[in-house]
Amino acid sequence: MQDSETVDQIDDTPIARAAQAAVQAIGRAGEGLPRPAATRVIVVANQKGGVGKTTTTVNMAASLAMHGLRVLVVDLDPQGNASTALGIDHHAEVPSIYDVLVEGKPLADVVQPVHDVEGLFCVPATIDLAGAEIELVSLVARESRLQRAIAAYEQPLDYILIDCPPSLGLLTVNALVAGQEVMIPIQCEYYALEGLGQLLRNVELVRAHLNPALHVSTILLTMYDARTRLAAQVAEEVRTHFQREVLSTAIPRSVRISEAPSYGQTVLTYDPGSTGALSYLEAARELALRAVGQSGSTVGQQRDGQPGHGAPMAQYGTTEGHQ
């Protein structure tokens, strides 16, 4: 029989600690999270490509749904990667967000359930969306067509996550007008903050002229590699610039996260016990709890039942000096 000291040593190994963390995180996923007072519409945006926008959108959405919430993903990227990751067919003949924006079709006519995750729904994107930027130019109220479609959608939802293309064109503007919050995934790599100043200026312009409720509520560090000094330096710099907005949970580099979309799944269903899945579960939990004032952050807390405004964008005016 092993003595207690030997057992304690075994329990303190990295594998044992990881297994314990997995059990705890998976257990918390079944506990449920508080429902927001009103539907939270979150725009996932960063015009820099390859930072994990789509990966963050689908995995955060799946994590929230697994906590018992009703979540809709709006795929606004012509590549349709979010639709692929959720196992939603999005060939040219499928009713999609293009029909909503350009043809005025009701959102309810294009919403599809995600079969692997109860409570999760998706509005797919097809290749037709690639021409929508040009077609929207001549339409009435071109910047607010998505906002009107969401406002007319009558099914109860707790969260709507909008996956934006890697640009700052009319599709992204439609998302920013429709949303209340902006979530920015930032890759823990060199040039992480490059171009962020322009995105923040656009958010400020939309807030000033089209959507006063819009604010940056959340910044998520992605592709974090704890083995490199660079990742730690980038994380420190981002946390210095955006003290209140950055989630404490960072998403690690993970083979499982990269593999999951090729199977038409999120990492939550592809490998629920992986570090990537557990990180997204924790990030989603943090996102939900901070909105109702149950975490240490004050970002996005509600006043009189309405989402609070984040810190003024003016304080980020020096971002470009740190690119």
The pTM (predicted TM-score) of the whole model is 0.82
How deeply is 95 buried, as exposed, middle or buried, from its count of CB atoms within 10 A (0-12, 13-18, 19+)?
middle
In the chain, the largest separation of any two C-alpha atoms, in whole Å, equals: 79
Across 13-41, average pLDDT:
65
Please list, in sequence order, all residues whose beta carbon lies within 8 angstroms of the beta carbon of residue 166, skipping any fewer than 6 positions away.
46, 47, 48, 49, 53, 77
Q: How confident is the model at residue 11 (pLDDT cuts 50, 70, 90)?
A: low
Q: What is the pLDDT of residue 292?
A: 64
Rg (alpha carbons) of the chain, rounded to whole number: 20
Give the tens place of pLDDT for each residue, 231-286.
Answer: 999 999 899 989 899 999 999 999 999 999 999 999 999 999 999 999 999 999 99
User: How is 206-244 classified by DSSP, letter by letter?
Assistant: HHHHT-TT-EEEEEEEESB-TT-HHHHHHHHHHHHH-TT
Distance, CA of 55 to CA of 289 (rounded, Å)? 21
Q: What is the pLDDT of residue 168?
A: 82
Check residues 133 and 322 and name the one with the higher pLDDT: 133
Whole-Å CA distances, 39 to 42, 72, 157: 9, 10, 6
Whole-Å CA distances, 45 to 1, 18, 30, 218: 56, 31, 29, 11
Give the SS3 label for residue 251.
Answer: coil
Give the tens place of pLDDT for each residue, 108-147.
Answer: 999 999 998 999 999 999 999 988 889 988 888 899 999 9
Going from N- to C-terminal start, the domains of the chain cover 36-292
| 84 DSSP 8-state letter | H
Q: How confident is the model at residue 24 (pLDDT cuts 50, 70, 90)?
A: low
Q: What is the pLDDT of residue 293?
A: 55
Backbone phi, psi, residue 114, to 5°? -90, 120
Whole-Å CA distances, 276 to 42, 60, 137: 21, 11, 40
Give the tens place of pLDDT for each residue, 161-197.
Answer: 999 998 888 999 999 999 999 999 999 888 888 878 8
According to DSSP, the residues that pair with 215 across neighbouring strands are 181
Does 31 have pLDDT greater than 80?
no
Distance, CA of 291 to CA of 314 (rounded, Å)? 23
CATH architecture of 36-292: 3-Layer(aba) Sandwich (3.40)
Give the SS3 label for residue 265.
Answer: coil
